[in-house]
Structure 1
């Protein structure tokens, strides 16, 4: 099992977190871990991933969120 690709989208304003997530999914066949620092980005990435048919899991870590996107 390969390690998920990690994407740090902290500090980015919408729609940038979704755009970097989309690019990462297009360029890699691996699962992703996306790091964001606000609930709007978290919700938008979860919605985007689910629309693509991916499963998601969110872990809150301090003030950040780790979104696991599984194909």
Structure 2
């Protein structure tokens, strides 16, 4: 969530998010996928924010109140 807040309006790549969240440590390949799923569930029930997948690029946070990415 911090990465999306610091980089509002930007598409964040998987590599960037992995490095941001887990640093140089090895991670399980699906760690980010699971984290995005869990974050999406929290956001769905508590905010007007949504994280969308930008195919082949990464992820972007979307504010449904503003109606734009």
Task: Give the TM-score taking structure 2 as reference length.
Answer: 0.39
The structure with more strand, counted as a fraction of residues? 1
Q: Higher helix proportion, which one? A: 2
